[in-house]
Structures are given as structure tokens and as C-alpha cells.
Structure 1
């Protein structure tokens, strides 16, 4: 397929989310869909107005880390002008914690991933791997990203997300009440959402702690469709 659109993959930050291996899961798909893919290991590229103006889709996998004022302004400017932005897990929902303007752009911020009972914890990442359900919302059932996908189980980190009402929530996950946790009623968090920002579209999926989770058929399908949905369809 002849490349007609440009995708920019930006990866880095905390290595615990395997940003290189995780993004490599989806780069072949983007190429198959006709994207010319450019990979950057730094978000400094966001400050390059020429590159950003030519980019139809940004796929970001940068957990925590920091972003300069110029890079953040460039990212916000590009999305508002029509560049799509997509990502999963901490690579988009737990990036640049010290930037309120980034959090406003994304519309959701990781707060925690509840753990197992303290007696079951062994001191490694699996302490936070909980069986849970990703539940498709009524809005999600009518959306192209979730078409044909039913509620499905995962055993991985279950993100508790702080969010706002500008998001269109396509799937949720519910954190139950446990005697070893301090909350007193079930908490529903968005697990998949879209967001429109100026002329741009944003897609976020909270599952994706590891490449193995991203290869789950449901998660992979949702992310692939989400990237296509977010992308600007015609380069300007």
C-alpha cells in the first residue's frame, strides 16, 4: 500500500512499560494501513512546527518523564489543528505529571492501580495484576472502535483514572470494594475513551501494561481501530 499519511511514534520514559517493544507491536499495522512511520525517542520533536504540521497521527508511549514548554505547546497546537493523538496505558494517561496543560489535553490521569490483598503480595509487578472486566458502554457499542467487541476479562493492572466530562467513554472498568482498601463503594473508571480537541481527535486505552496485554485480541483490536479513528484522514 502506498503511504498517504504520516504517523509519528514518540516513545520513552519509564522502561517498565517497555516503550520500544510496545510500540513495535503496532508499527507494522500502521505501515500496512498506508502510514509512513517516523519514530522519535524524545518528545522534543513536538516543538518542530514543520514536522507536526505534516503529521496525521501521533502515537505516544512515554510514561511519566517531563516535557518542555515548547514541546507541549507544539503538541497542543498540532492536535488542535487536526493531528490525531493516540496511546495506551501509562504511555499517554500517565505522562508529564507536572503539566496541567497536558492533563487537560488528554482528559484523564492515572491515579493508581489497586493491589492484591497484602498477604498475597510478593514484591514484584504482579502484585498489581488483578482479574477485572473491561465493560463496553452503550456509547461504545455504537462506535466503530468497539464494533463487535463484547465485555472481556483481563488480568493485569486495572487503572483508576481521574477524568472529566469532555471524554466520550467507550468502555469502563469497576474497582470493587475490598476490606483491605480504604474506599467504601465501587469506583467506575474509564478504560477506553475518545476526545475531540479543536480539529483533532484523541484516543486513549488504559489496558496495555505490557506487550503481552497489547497482544490480547480485544486490546490489540481496540488500539488499532483507535489509532485509525484518531488520525487525520486527509493531510492538509
Structure 2
């Protein structure tokens, strides 16, 4: 059987540590039998031949820009069966100006609510809140999240705008607080999958920094998600 091929695409905003974050998972891919290619830009997405031979794309590119040709190439590859996955801003806060990319992924980062204003010091920790990640009924049966119990994090809690074509494996609730303008609790998807043509997409919203990525439940979800998303027979 031919060796499976994974493409790791990283870059964008350095605050999410794209090199260090992806390096956490490359050894796992190699142990799982993948030949791994690493690219530091999205230019590779325009190479139809390369993507046709790729079983899985792992993306960690926050914000940044993408050309119409590149996003068309990525989407075409997923439709044809290439898996696509990532975490946090590296997949749901990528290429904000590309509606075609957002259509592919099914959800977009909107905000991460912050602490009470009097507690803020001007750093990233101003947006770190304690919150639970709750596994859904579907998630308790899905190969990516089966056996994982609800878990708690203290980090950025992503508020995500999304459509109804995603299969939600875990959610998180943004409560009402007196310094926030919303009037009732808001539930956002925290982990989801999406079928796109013959391909599979997996999104995990926790993952702001290396400590969160090292959390046992977060890391397990990302690793299982890579395997599940990969091109199937």
C-alpha cells in the first residue's frame, strides 16, 4: 500500500506560533505512517498535481491573504477527497476576505470575549477565560471524540459564526456578564466536522498556544481528527 501523504501549511500571524504548533503534531503524523511535506505559504494550494497526491492538509495560518487561484485549488482538492484540518485561528481565522474559503470551512471566528475591564492588563491574558468544552450526543459516538469527557480550559473562548452544514462534536457557551452587550447565553461550536464533496474537514477551535495544544483532550481530538479527515478508500 502506498504511503499516505500529509501537507502541513503554516504561516500568518506569529502570535499563534505556527512553526512550533505544527511541530507538535508532525512526529505523530510520521508515526502514523505519513510522509510529511511542510510549506511556509499557501502557494502550494495552486499546485493541482501536488494536492491530488495529498491525503491530508493540516493548516495553521492565522489571518493572512490567499489568492482566488489558491483557495480554488484547496477547495477542489477537498471536493476530490483530500482531508483538511486545523485548530484555532489557523483554520477559522484565516483569509477573512475570502468568502469561498469561509464556505469551505463552515465557520469563522468572530471574537473571544474578554475579562472584566478592571482586570485587564493589556496582554493576551485579557482574553483568557475559564470555560467548559461540552461534548455533544453526536460527539460521544464520533470516532474523533468518543470516550472524551467534557473538559475545562482557561484560554481564548472562540465565538464562531457558522452555518448548518457542520456536524458539531462539542460546544462551548458564552455566558452573560454585565460588561458584555449580549442578553442571553450564546452557544458556539467548539469542535466540528464537515463533509465537502468526497473530502472531510475537521475544525478544533481551542489551540491558542502550546499549553492548550498540549492539553490531553485537545491534543487527542486534533490527532484523531487528522486521521479521520484523511482521504478514505
Quickly name the TM-score band, shorter chain normalised. Answer: over 0.9
Structure 1 residue 11 and structure 2 residue 18: aligned? no
The two structures, once aligned, show a CA RMSD in angstroms of 0.9
Cα shift readout 1:142-186 (whole Å, capped 9, x = no counterpart): 101011101000000000000011000000000000000000000
How far off its partner does 1:13 sit?
A: 0.2
Aligned to 2:165: 166
Aligned to 1:148: 147
- Tell me which stretches of 4 or more aligned residues in structure 1 moved more than 6 Å: none
Q: Secondary structure at the match of 1:145?
A: coil
Structure 1 residue 110 and structure 2 residue 109: aligned? yes
Is this contact kept in 1: 2:18–2:60, CA < 8 A? yes
Give distance in 2, aligned partners of 1:14 and 1:92. Answer: 12
Alignment of 1:1-236 (within 5 A): 4-234=3-233
Give distance in 2, aligned partners of 1:233 and 1:57. Answer: 10
How far off its partner does 1:212 sit?
A: 1.1
User: What is the aligned residue count?
Assistant: 233
Q: TM-score, normalised by structure 1?
A: 0.98
Give distance in 2, aligned partners of 1:69 and 1:183. Answer: 36
Cα shift readout 1:35-89 (whole Å, capped 9, x = no counterpart): 0000000001000011000000000000000001111110000000000000000
Residue segments in structure 1 that go unaligned for 5+ positions in a row: none
How far off its partner does 1:115 sit?
A: 0.2
Is this contact kept in 2: 1:3–1:35, CA < 8 A? no
Cα shift readout 1:11-40 (whole Å, capped 9, x = no counterpart): 000000000000001000000000000000
How far off its partner does 1:233 sit?
A: 3.0
Give distance in 2, aligned partners of 1:233 and 1:73. Answer: 22
Q: Secondary structure at the match of 1:102?
A: helix
Is this contact kept in 1: 2:139–2:169, CA < 8 A? yes
